[in-house]
A and B are shown apart, each in its own frame.
Chain A
Amino acid sequence: MNITEDLSIISLILNASLLVKLVMGLLIGISFMSWYWIFRKSFALRDARNRTDKFELEFWSGGDLNALFQSAANDRHNASGMERIFEAGYREFTKLRARQNIDTATAVDGARRAMRATYQRELDELESHTAFLASTGSVSPYIGLFGTVWGIMNAFRGLANVGQATLSQVAPGIAEALVATAIGLFAAIPAVVAYNRFAHDIDRISIRWESFMEEFSNILQRQAR
C-alpha cells in the first residue's frame, strides 16, 4: 500500500474489492431505476392533474351529459381517470335504466359500484411503482452500509498484516468503502423525497375523484325522477 495516493473517485471505485464493486453496481442500477420512475411518475401525475382540471371544467359548465359521455367513450384511450369514472358510471346507469323493472335507487347503486371499480383501477394505475421508490428510499442506505462495512473489514484485515500501523494505511481502504454508502444515500434521498411528494399528489387527486363520484351520483339520482 502506497502512502501517498491520489484518491479520485474513479480510482476509489476501481480499487474496491469485488463485493463492494457489486454493491456499488447494484446501487447505481437502483438509483437509475428510481430516477426513471421519479420522472415517469411526475409526468403521469402532472398529466392526470391537468386532465382532471379540464374535465371538471367541462362537466360543471353544464353541458349535456350524453354528449359528454359520447366524447369520453370515443376517446377512451386518451381519457383521464375522472372521465373514465364518469363514463363507467353513466354507462351502467343508462343500461340499468333501460330495463323496466328496476327502480332508481338500484340503478344509482349500480352506477356507483361501477364508478367505484373504475376508481380503484385508476388509483392503482397512479400508485403503481411508487412502492419501488419507497423501498429504494428505505433499503438502499442499508445496501450501501453493507458495502462499507465489508470494505472496512477488508481494510482492517490488510492492516493486520502490517507490523506498524499508520492511519495512512487504513485511510484509503476506508475512503473506498465509504463510497458505497455515499452512492446508497444518493439513491435514497431523491427516492424518499419523490415518494412523499407523489403520495401527497395521489391523495389529492383521489380525493377529487371521490368527491366527483358522490356529486355525480346525486346528479344521476336527481335525473332519474
Chain B
Amino acid sequence: MHDFAFNRPQPGKWQSALLAAGMHLLLGLLLFYSVRWQTSKPAAVQVELVSALPPIQAPARTAPPPKPVVQPPPKPVVEPPPPPAPKPDIAIKEPPKPKPVPKVEPKPEPRSEPKPKPVEKPPEPKVEPKPKPRPEPPPPDTRREQASQDRMLQEALARESAQMAQREAAREAEMMARVAAEGARLKAVQTWADRISARVRNNLVLPPGASGNPEALVSIALLPDGSVVGEPRMKRSTGNAALDTAILRAIVKSSPLPKPDDPSAFQRNVDLIFRPLEQ
C-alpha cells in the first residue's frame, strides 16, 4: 500500500498560521481605527445648570473677601487660609455666592491695583512686634470689634487691602487662564445638566393633574461619584406640592446621577432648573 498521503510533508503550516494571524490583526486594526461611532446627544433645551455659570465671571471671586471687612465675625473662619494658599480657597468659594458680584466689584479694584506688592510688606513689620503674627488674626479681629480702636482697625484694613491686592493679582492671572477654557467648560456643564435631567426625567412619576410648563429650581449636593448627598432642596417650587415631592423623590431615586464627561465641570452643589412637563 502506498499511504504516502499520511506521512508526506505538509508545507506552509506555519506560514499559513502566521498569515491568518496577520489577516486578523489587519482586520482588527481596520475595525478599531475606522469604526468610531459617536452618539452625541442633540442639545435638549429643557434644563440649565445655574450655579455653573458664575465661576467664569471673575467678580464672583472677590465677593467673599470684601464682606469680612464689614462683618468681622464670619471672617476668622475664612481668613487665615487665604494668604498661604489663595487659589484653592478661591476655587472653593466660587460656586456658592454668585450674586453679590456687581456691588463688590468696583471697590477692590481701585484699591488693589495701585499697590500690589509694596503694601504687602508694611503690614508684616507691624504685626511682628506682637507675639504671634499669623495664627493670631482671628483673635485681634474679635477684640478690635469689641474695643474698636482706630489704630488696630486701620492696621487691619491695610493688611486687608494688601491681601486683597494679592488675591486680586492671583485672581487676575487665574481668570485669564480660565476664560480660555470657559467655552468648552460651559458646553460640558450643559451636556452634563442635560444628562442629569434626562436621568431624573426617567425616574419621575408624574402626579395626576399636573399641567402647563412648571419650572422648579432644585439644589442638589453631589459627591464626586455622582451620588446625591442628603436631601435635595427645592429652591423654587413649581407651585404644585405633589409635583415638587415627585421631583425630589425622582432625584433621590436617580442617585448616582451621571458624571460629567469633563471632570472639571463637576461641582458639589448644583442648582438644576427642571421643567418636568416639557417634552
Q: B12 — which chain A residues lie within 8 A by C-beta?
A: 39-40, 43-44
**Secondary structure at chain A's binding surface: helix, strand, loop or mixed?**
helix
Are A77 and B8 in contact (CB-based, < 8 A)?
yes
Q: A3 — which chain B residues lie within 8 A by C-beta?
A: 41, 194-195, 198, 258
Are A79 and B24 in contact (CB-based, < 8 A)?
no
Partner of A163, one of B10, B23, B37, B203: B203
Q: B4 — which chain A residues lie within 8 A by C-beta?
A: 76-77, 79, 84
**Secondary structure at chain B's binding surface: helix, strand, loop or mixed?**
helix
A101 at the interface (CB under 8 A from B): no
Are B35 and A8 in contact (CB-based, < 8 A)?
yes
A-B contact pairs, 25 of them (CB 8 A): A3-B194, A4-B191, A4-B261, A6-B36, A7-B39, A9-B31, A9-B32, A10-B32, A28-B24, A36-B16, A37-B16, A39-B20, A43-B11, A47-B11, A76-B2, A77-B7, A78-B8, A79-B4, A84-B4, A121-B2, A121-B3, A124-B5, A125-B5, A163-B204, A172-B39
- Those of B183-240 within 8 Å (CB) of chain A: 191, 194-195, 198, 201-205
B40 smallest CB distance to A (angstroms): 6
**Most A-side CB within 10 Å, residue of B4, B35, B40, B202:** B4
- Those of A181-196 within 8 Å (CB) of chain B: 186
- Those of A59-109 within 8 Å (CB) of chain B: 76-79, 84, 87-88
Q: Interface 1/0s, chain B 139-154, versus A by CB < 8 A?
A: 0000000000000000
Q: How far is the CA of A5 from the CA of B195 in the complex (A)?
A: 11
Q: How far is the CA of A35 from the CA of B22 in the complex (A)?
A: 10
A164 at the interface (CB under 8 A from B): yes
Q: B20 — which chain A residues lie within 8 A by C-beta?
A: 32-33, 35-36, 38-39
Are B258 and A2 in contact (CB-based, < 8 A)?
yes
Chain A interface residues (CB < 8 Å from chain B): 2-10, 28, 31-33, 35-40, 43-44, 47, 76-79, 84, 87-88, 118, 121-122, 124-125, 162-164, 166, 168, 171-172, 175, 186
B14 smallest CB distance to A (angstroms): 10
Q: How far is the CA of A88 from the CA of B19 in the complex (A)?
A: 36
Partner of B195, one of A2, A9, A87, A175: A2
A205 smallest CB distance to B (angstroms): 15
Q: A38 — which chain B residues lie within 8 A by C-beta?
A: 20
Q: A77 — which chain B residues lie within 8 A by C-beta?
A: 4, 7-9
B241 at the interface (CB under 8 A from A): no
Q: B2 — which chain A residues lie within 8 A by C-beta?
A: 76, 84, 87-88, 118, 121
B159 smallest CB distance to A (angstroms): 49
Are A43 and B9 in contact (CB-based, < 8 A)?
no
Are A39 and B32 in contact (CB-based, < 8 A)?
no
Q: How far is the CA of A9 from the CA of B38 in the complex (A)?
A: 11
Q: How far is the CA of A8 from the CA of B33 in the complex (A)?
A: 9
Are A164 and B201 in contact (CB-based, < 8 A)?
yes
Are B191 and A121 in contact (CB-based, < 8 A)?
no
B16 smallest CB distance to A (angstroms): 4
Q: How far is the CA of A5 from the CA of B12 in the complex (A)?
A: 45
Q: Nearest residue in A to B39 (C-beta to C-beta)?
A: A5
Q: Nearest residue in A to B37 (C-beta to C-beta)?
A: A7
Q: Nearest residue in B to A171 (C-beta to C-beta)?
A: B39
Are A9 and B15 in contact (CB-based, < 8 A)?
no
Q: B11 — which chain A residues lie within 8 A by C-beta?
A: 43-44, 47
Q: How far is the CA of A124 from the CA of B3 in the complex (A)?
A: 12
B42 smallest CB distance to A (angstroms): 10
B177 at the interface (CB under 8 A from A): no
Partner of A168, one of B21, B41, B201, B205: B41
Are B202 and A4 in contact (CB-based, < 8 A)?
no
Q: Nearest residue in A to B201 (C-beta to C-beta)?
A: A164
New A-B pairs, 5, CB < 8 Å, besides A39-B12, A77-B4, A84-B4: A4-B39, A4-B41, A36-B16, A37-B16, A163-B205
